[in-house]
């Protein structure tokens, strides 16, 4: 069931989204060689605490997960695509990092992700990250009243495939509201004009997940959470929580 949010609810979700944006900005600002992934998680925790917000990630356990998630961010490095568990790994010069973060404020959820490089970037990584954001922008541009879910999916997939990148198989965006994962699902590839019609008050997490090697496959690390590219190539992830409105897409997790 898809919940249609009131305009007041969208404003409340924007407040949660601002907290997420602040947490991601703080993590990005502090990410440097020698900093651990666990350090980055602590930075995000401090932002959430200061805002009086909770985390939809911490202790989250879907049916397929062997253990509850132990952190407030997913920290995925290099060949890790998504769901990376923050640990003692120290960032190195040239690492490609994706950070996914959520916040719960006054019962509403915000969810967003960024990708960036640490130190001296590889040109291939810059192109991969830039394309992830280009795909995100294309998906958001298609998130308008009168379109359908398939229009968002097609816009994302077209950018990714044109650049020669793979798309994480079986994963995509989703509805957001009182919980982090709600209906409808938002695939990162699809046919235009298909799927659920978009209405004012729908809120979606739009999140391209790109694989640099061009394939769509992945494998699950021993921690039961981290998804890694099967070919060892690098990956990038970009995400915003977006409200569908009569005035156009409203990015609730914008800085």
Pick from 209, 215, 255, 249: which is nearest to 231 by CA?
A: 215
Question: CA 146 to CA 166: how far, in whole Å?
Answer: 29
| pLDDT band at residue 66 under the 50/70/90 scheme | very high
How, if at all, do strands 227-229 and 218-220 pair? Answer: antiparallel
* Buried-exposed string 117-141: b where 16+ CB fall within 10 A, e elsewhere: bbeebeeebebbbebbebbbbbbbe
Would you say the pTM of this structure is higher than 0.95?
A: yes
**What are 163-217's pLDDT values in tens digits?**
999 999 999 999 999 999 999 999 999 999 999 999 999 999 999 999 999 999 9
Contact 130, 140 (CB under 8 A): no
Q: Which residues contact 93 (CB under 8 A, 6 or more apart)?
A: 33, 118, 119, 120
């Amino acid at each position: 069931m898809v919940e249609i949010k009131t305009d007041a609810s969208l404003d409340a979700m924007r407040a949660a989204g601002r907290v997420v944006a602040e947490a991601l900005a703080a993590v990005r600002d502090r990410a440097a060689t020698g900093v651990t992934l666990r350090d980055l998680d602590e930075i995000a925790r401090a932002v959430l605490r200061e805002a009086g917000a909770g985390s939809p990630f911490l202790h989250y356990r879907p049916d397929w997960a062997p253990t509850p998630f132990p952190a407030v961010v997913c920290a995925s490095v290099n060949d890790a695509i998504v769901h990376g568990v923050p640990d003692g790994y120290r960032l190195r010069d040239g690492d490609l990092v994706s950070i996914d973060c959520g916040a719960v404020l006054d019962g509403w959820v915000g969810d967003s992700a960024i990708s960036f490089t640490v130190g001296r970037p590889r040109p291939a990584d810059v192109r991969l990250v830039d394309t992830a954001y280009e795909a995100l922008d294309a998906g958001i541009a298609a998130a308008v009243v009168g379109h359908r879910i398939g229009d968002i999916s097609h816009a994302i997939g077209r950018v990714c495939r044109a650049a020669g990148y793979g798309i994480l198989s079986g994963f995509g965006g989703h509805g957001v509201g009182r919980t982090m994962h709600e209906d409808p699902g938002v695939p990162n590839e699809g046919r235009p004009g298909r799927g659920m019609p978009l209405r004012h008050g729908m809120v979606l997490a739009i999140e391209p997940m790109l694989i640099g090697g061009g394939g769509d496959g992945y494998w699950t690390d021993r921690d039961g959470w981290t998804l890694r590219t099967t070919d060892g190539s690098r990956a990038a992830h970009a995400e915003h929580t977006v409200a569908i409105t009569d005035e156009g897409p409203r990015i609730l997790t914008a800085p």
